[in-house]
Amino acid sequence: MTFSRRRPLCLPAAAAAAAVLLPAAVGCSPADATVRAAVPSPPPAEAAVCRALDEELPESVAGQSRRDPQPASAYTAAWGDGAIVLRCGVPRPPAMDDPQSQGLEVNGVGWLVEEHTGEEDAGPRFTTTYRTAYVEVVLDKRYAHDAGPLAGLAEAVEKTVPASL
């Protein structure tokens, strides 16, 4: 697996690598809780890309088995007890316009890195960059300093979500 850190899409590709700082915390979700995720409403072209991605997503990521969230949708997926939640076809995050935003590249897929707040066990949020559809991956606090789950998703994203540059 290849990890590299870089500035977000609003900067030239040759921009210097940026450090990624995420909050230090460890937590867990109840194992019997139903995983929930808001279903995006992508435009038709993005919806087709997201359906193709859904077909290619792995059954296991970072040792967690796939357990899709409710309501069921081809635009959402989850692994474990909600430790890893993916949504495809999300709107472009406003942070992509911020030159101070941080980016990370994992196995050829660029990601915007944000702190995800608003939930008790929230960890980092990653959103693909330079792709025809935005794919968001939210990790819980167990992955506060571990972008490893992105490596498990990179092949499917690379295969089904075309680069936009």
Which is nearest to 143 in space by CA: 75, 51, 80, 50? Answer: 80
What's this model's pTM, rounded to 2 decimal places? 0.79
Question: Which residue type is seen at 104?
Answer: L
Q: CA-to-CA distance for 150 and 58, rounded, in angstroms?
A: 12
List the structure tokens of 115: 């702190």
What is the predicted pLDDT for the residue at 31? 47
**Cα–Cα distance for residue pair 125/31, rounded to 1 Å:** 21
d(CA 47, CA 43): 6
Token pair belonging to 137:
């991956």
Q: Give which of 89, 1, 4 is closest to 45, Cα–Cα.
A: 89
Residue whose structure tokens are 């990521």: 61
pLDDT at 120: 63
Q: How many CA atoms lie within 13 A of 98 on its CB side?
A: 11
Residue ranges in the chain modelled with pLDDT below 70: 1-33, 117-121
CB 132 within 8 A of CB 46: yes
Query: How far, CA to CA in Å, does 110 sit from each of 3, 29, 156?
Result: 10, 28, 13
